[in-house]
C-alpha cells in the first residue's frame, strides 16, 4: 500500500533506495532526484492537505451530530408536563393516604376518608398442611407420577394452562402461577404447617380453576373452585372538595387521576378518619427547571459559535474543570461553514419567533413568545449585545415567576404543548418552543438528515474524501515511477561517464608508455 502522507512518502522513497549516485560523475544524484520529486509532488502535497481538511471536517460534523442528539434527548425529557410542572403535594397522614402528582394539578385543599380497602378474590387452603413447607415435592402430597395441568380462569380472558410435574415443589408450582398477569400465589409458613393462597391481581378479577388432576384438593382448597373463600371488594373513598362530598371506587388501592393530575394511594381502612390533602404549584422548583434548560441551550450555542468562529472561550465539556477545546485538533474545521452557520442562525431565530404562528388566527396559546414569560436576550437582560450575537438566552426571573403565578399551565404550553388544532385553513400542528426545537434538531441529526448527508457513510464529504484518496494514490504511484525513472537515467549517465573515464585513463596510459 502506498503511503499517502507526503513527507513520509518522500522519506520512504529515499529510505528504500538501493542506488549510489555520483561515484563517477561527482554529482549528488540523490539530492538532485529528491529535489525534482519534491517539486513535481506539490500537487500531491496539496491533495493531502485537502484530505486532512476533509477528514477533520467530517469528524467535526460527526461530533456536532452527537452533541445535538444529546441535546435533543435532554429536550424531549425536559419538556414533558410531568417533569416541567413542579407540584408540591402533601398528606396530613402519609401512613393512611399518600399523594402524588403527574403533570399539571390544580391548587387544592381537600379531605379523604377511606371507607374500604380493595380486596382481591382469594382461594386458600382451608387448614394448615402439617409437616409441609414450600420445598415439599408435589409427589409427597399425593400427586400421581408424571405430567399434569392446572387450568386458571379469569373473567374476559382466555383460559391459562399451567403445566406441572409430580417432581415439582410447591414453590415451583406457585412460581408458575405467579408468572401469569391476572394471578398472585404465595404460601404462609407457621409452626402448624403451610397454607397456600391464590388470588386475582385486583378486585376486578373474578377467578376460578379447573383442577382435574387434584393438586389444589391436595393443598386443601375448598371443593368449590368457582367461588373464593374471600370475595373481591373495591376500594372506596369519600372525597370532600370545597365542601362537596363524592364517593369514588377503584379496583386497587391506587386511585389514579382521582382529581386530574392527582393520584392517591390508600393504606388504612378507617371511615372515621379524615386525611387532608394539599396540592400547590411549586414556582421556585419550576423556575429552576427552566434555568436548567437555559444552561443546556447556552452550552450548545457556545459550542456552535466556537465552531463557527474557529475559536473557543472556556468550555468544560466533561465537568473536570479543564477547557477541553483549547487544544482541540478539530479546532477551525468548521470555521465559517455555511451549514453550521445556518444551524446557528436558525437556533437563534427560534428564540424570538412566534410559537403558534401556524394557528395564530385561533389564538390557541396565552403565551406565544418566550419573551412574554421573561425568557430571551433582550436589552433588559445581562450580557447585552454580545450575548445576542452569540445566541445566548437569559431569564428575567421576576417576569417568569409572575407568568407562572398567573397561569402555571400556560407557561408549560409555551414550551411543551404538542397537539393538532382546527383552524380556518384546516387541521394544524400546535407545538411549543421545546417541541419545535426538538423537531428541528431531529431533522439535523436523523439518518439522511442535514448532517448525515454531509458526514455520513454516503455523505458528500465521504464521497469527496474517497475521490481525493484515489487521487493521492494515483499521484503516489506516478511519483514512484518518476523516481525510479530518474534513477535509471542517472545510473545510465553514471555508467557512460564511468566508461569515458576508463577510456581516458587508458589513453593516458598509452601516452605514458610512449615516452
Confidence at residue 2, expressed as pLDDT on a 0 to 100 scale: 42
For residue 10, is it within any domain?
Answer: no
- Residue appearing with cell numbers 471536517: 57
End of a domain among 427, 455, 483? 455
DSSP character string of 29-52:
HHHHHHHHHHHHTHHHHHHHHHHH
For residues 358 and 212, state if they share a domain: no
Bridge-based pairing state of the strands 160-165 and 97-101: unpaired
Report yes or no: 451 and 65 within 8 Å, Cβ to Cβ.
yes
Report the candidate in 49, 74, 226 with the shortest Cα–Cα distance to residue 153. Answer: 226
For residues 165 and 273, state if they share a domain: no
For residue 20, is it within any domain?
Answer: no
3 state SS of 37: helix
Confidence at residue 380, expressed as pLDDT on a 0 to 100 scale: 42
Q: Tell me the torsion sign for CA atoms 216, 222, 227, 232.
A: negative
List b or e across 451-481, with b for residues whose CB sees 16 or more CB atoms inside 10 angstroms: bbebbbeebebeeebeebbebbeebbeebbe
For residues 345 and 363, state if they share a domain: yes
Distances (CA, A) of 378 to 297, 303, 357, 391: 16, 21, 21, 11
Confidence at residue 323, expressed as pLDDT on a 0 to 100 scale: 56
Confidence at residue 363, expressed as pLDDT on a 0 to 100 scale: 59
For residues 391 and 259, state if they share a domain: no
Range of the domain at 111: 87-118+234-281
Measured in whole angstroms, how far is the alpha carbon of residue 375 from the centre of its chain?
26
What is the phi/psi pair of residue 197, to 5°? -125, 135
CA gap 466, 58 in Å, rounded: 12
For residue 437, is it within any domain?
Answer: yes
For residues 423 and 300, state if they share a domain: yes
- Describe the crossing of helices 433-445 and 338-352 by its angle, rounded to 10 degrees: 170
Confidence at residue 505, expressed as pLDDT on a 0 to 100 scale: 64
End of a domain among 434, 455, 476? 455
Which residues fall within 8 angstroms of residue 512, CB to CB, at 6 or more apart? none
Which residues fall within 8 angstroms of residue 375, CB to CB, at 6 or more apart? 290, 294, 393, 394, 395, 396, 400
For residues 65 and 202, state if they share a domain: no
Based on C-alpha coordinates, what's the Rg of the chain?
Answer: 41
For residues 299 and 202, state if they share a domain: no
End of a domain among 281, 297, 313? 281
CA gap 438, 430 in Å, rounded: 14
- Residue appearing with cell numbers 484530505: 51
Q: State the 10-residue block means of pLDDT for the chain, 515 residues long.
A: 50 52 54 72 76 85 94 96 94 96 91 93 92 93 94 88 95 95 91 92 86 92 80 90 93 92 94 95 96 96 90 56 62 89 94 78 79 75 69 92 94 93 78 95 95 87 83 78 73 63 63 53
List b or e across 127-144, with b for residues whose CB sees 16 or more CB atoms inside 10 angstroms: eebeebebebebeebebe
For residues 266 and 320, state if they share a domain: no
Scanning 391-448, the segments in alpha helix (DSSP H) are 397-406, 408-416, 433-445
Measured in whole angstroms, how far is the alpha carbon of residue 171 from the centre of its chain?
40
Burial class (CB within 10 angstroms; exposed 0-12, middle 13-18, buried 19+) of 23: exposed
269: DSSP letter: -
The number of beta carbons lying within 10 Å of the beta carbon of residue 232 is 19
CA gap 219, 67 in Å, rounded: 61
**332 is written with which cell numbers?**
477551525
Total-model pTM: 0.71
Q: H or E element: which one contains 175?
A: helix 170-178
For residues 251 and 312, state if they share a domain: no
Q: Is residue 131 left, alpha or beta, with left meaning phi > 0 and alpha meaning psi from -120 to 50?
A: left
For residues 335 and 435, state if they share a domain: yes
For residue 132, is it within any domain?
Answer: yes
CA gap 159, 254 in Å, rounded: 27
For residue 108, is it within any domain?
Answer: yes
Kindly report, residue by residue over 276-310, the tens digit of the pLDDT.
999 999 999 999 999 999 999 999 999 999 899 88
Give me the number of domains the chain comprises: 3
**88 is written with which cell numbers?**
408540591
Report the candidate in 90, 107, 89, 92 with the shortest Cα–Cα distance to residue 273. Answer: 92
For residue 509, is it within any domain?
Answer: no
Bridge-based pairing state of the strands 193-200 and 254-259: unpaired
Kindly report, residue by residue over 122-174, the tens digit of the pLDDT.
999 999 999 999 999 999 999 999 999 999 998 878 899 999 999 999 999 99
For residue 515, is it within any domain?
Answer: no
For residues 193 and 243, state if they share a domain: no
For residue 378, is it within any domain?
Answer: yes
Measured in whole angstroms, how far is the alpha carbon of residue 434 from the centre of its chain?
16
CA gap 415, 66 in Å, rounded: 23
Confidence at residue 508, expressed as pLDDT on a 0 to 100 scale: 66
For residues 311 and 427, state if they share a domain: yes
Amino acid at each position: 500500500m502506498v503511503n499517502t502522507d507526503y513527507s513520509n512518502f518522500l522519506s520512504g522513497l529515499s529510505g528504500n533506495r538501493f542506488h549510489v549516485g555520483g561515484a563517477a560523475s561527482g554529482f549528488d544524484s540523490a539530492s538532485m532526484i529528491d529535489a525534482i520529486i519534491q517539486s513535481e509532488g506539490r500537487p500531491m502535497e496539496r491533495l493531502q492537505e485537502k484530505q486532512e481538511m476533509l477528514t477533520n471536517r467530517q469528524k467535526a460534523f460527526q461530533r456536532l451530530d452527537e452533541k445535538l442528539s444529546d441535546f435533543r434527548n435532554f429536550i424531549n425529557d425536559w419538556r414533558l408536563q410531568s417533569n416541567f410542572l413542579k407540584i408540591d403535594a402533601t398528606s396530613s397522614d402519609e401512613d393512611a393516604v399518600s399523594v402524588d402528582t403527574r403533570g399539571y394539578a390544580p391548587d387544592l385543599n381537600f379531605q379523604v376518608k377511606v371507607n374500604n380497602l380493595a380486596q382481591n378474590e382469594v382461594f386458600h387452603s382451608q387448614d394448615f398442611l402439617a409437616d409441609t413447607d414450600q420445598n415439599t415435592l408435589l409427589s409427597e402430597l399425593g400427586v400421581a407420577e408424571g405430567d399434569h395441568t392446572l387450568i386458571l380462569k379469569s373473567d374476559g380472558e382466555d383460559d391459562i394452562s399451567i403445566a406441572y410435574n409430580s417432581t415439582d415443589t410447591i414453590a415451583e408450582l406457585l412460581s408458575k402461577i405467579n408468572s401469569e398477569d391476572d394471578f398472585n400465589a404465595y404460601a404462609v409458613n407457621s409452626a402448624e404447617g403451610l397454607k397456600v393462597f391464590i388470588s386475582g391481581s385486583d378486585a376486578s378479577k373474578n377467578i376460578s380453576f379447573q383442577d382435574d388432576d387434584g393438586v389444589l384438593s391436595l393443598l386443601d382448597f375448598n371443593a368449590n373452585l368457582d367461588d373464593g373463600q374471600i370475595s373481591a371488594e373495591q376500594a372506596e373513598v369519600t372525597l370532600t372538595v370545597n365542601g362537596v362530598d363524592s364517593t369514588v371506587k377503584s379496583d386497587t388501592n391506587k386511585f389514579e387521576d382521582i382529581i386530574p393530575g392527582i393520584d392517591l394511594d390508600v393504606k388504612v381502612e378507617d371511615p372515621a378518619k379524615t386525611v387532608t390533602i394539599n396540592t400547590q404549584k411549586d414556582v421556585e422548583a419550576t423556575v429552576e427547571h427552566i434555568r436548567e434548560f437555559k444552561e443546556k441551550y447556552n452550552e450548545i450555542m457556545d459550542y456552535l459559535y466556537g465552531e463557527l468562529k474557529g475559536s473557543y472561550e472556556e468550555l468544560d465539556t466533561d465537568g473536570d474543570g479543564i477547557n477541553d477545546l483549547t487544544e482541540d485538533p478539530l479546532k477551525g474545521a468548521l470555521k465559517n461553514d455555511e451549514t453550521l452557520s445556518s444551524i446557528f442562525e436558525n437556533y437563534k431565530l427560534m428564540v424570538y419567533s412566534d410559537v403558534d404562528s401556524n394557528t395564530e388566527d385561533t389564538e390557541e396559546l396565552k403565551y406565544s413568545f418566550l419573551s412574554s414569560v421573561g425568557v430571551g436576550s433582550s436589552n433588559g437582560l445581562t450580557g447585552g449585545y454580545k450575548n445576542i450575537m452569540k445566541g445566548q438566552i437569559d431569564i428575567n426571573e421576576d417576569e417568569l415567576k409572575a407568568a407562572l403565578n398567573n397561569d402555571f399551565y400556560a407557561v408549560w404550553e409555551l414550551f411543551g404543548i404538542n397537539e393538532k388544532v382546527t383552524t380556518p385553513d384546516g387541521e394544524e400542528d400546535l407545538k411549543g418552543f421545546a417541541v419545535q426545537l426538538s423537531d428541528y434538531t431531529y431533522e439535523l441529526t436523523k439518518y439522511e438528515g442535514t448532517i448525515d448527508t454531509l458526514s455520513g457513510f454516503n455523505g458528500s464529504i465521504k464521497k469527496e474524501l474517497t475521490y481525493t484518496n484515489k487521487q493521492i494514490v494515483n499521484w503516489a504511484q506516478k511519483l514512484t515511477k518518476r523516481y525510479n525513472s530518474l534513477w535509471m537515467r542517472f545510473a545510465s549517465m553514471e555508467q557512460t561517464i564511468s566508461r569515458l573515464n576508463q577510456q581516458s585513463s587508458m589513453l593516458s596510459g598509452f601516452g605514458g608508455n610512449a615516452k
